[in-house]
Structure 1
Amino acid sequence: MQTKQPRWVQTLLLYFLLTNSVPGIWALFMPDAFYNYFPGFGHTWVSVDGPYNEHLIRDVGAFFMALTTLSLVALLQPGLVDARVVAVCLLVFNVPHLWYHLQHLHMLLFVDQVGNVVVLSAAVLLGIPLLFYRSSSTVR
Structure 2
Amino acid sequence: MSLVGKVVIVTGASSGIGASAAESFAKQGSKVVIVGRNEANLKATEAACKAANSKVELLVIAADVTTNAEKIINSTIERFGQLDVLVNNAGVGEMGSILDIDVDQFDRIMNINVRSVFLLTKYAAPHLIKTQG
Taking structure 2 as the reference length, what is the TM-score of the superposition?
0.35
Could you say which structure has the greater relative contact order, defined with CA pairs below 8 angstroms and 6 or more residues apart?
Answer: 1
- The TM-score normalised by the length of structure 1 is 0.34
Larger helix proportion, structure 1 or 2? 1
Q: Which has the larger radius of gyration?
A: 1
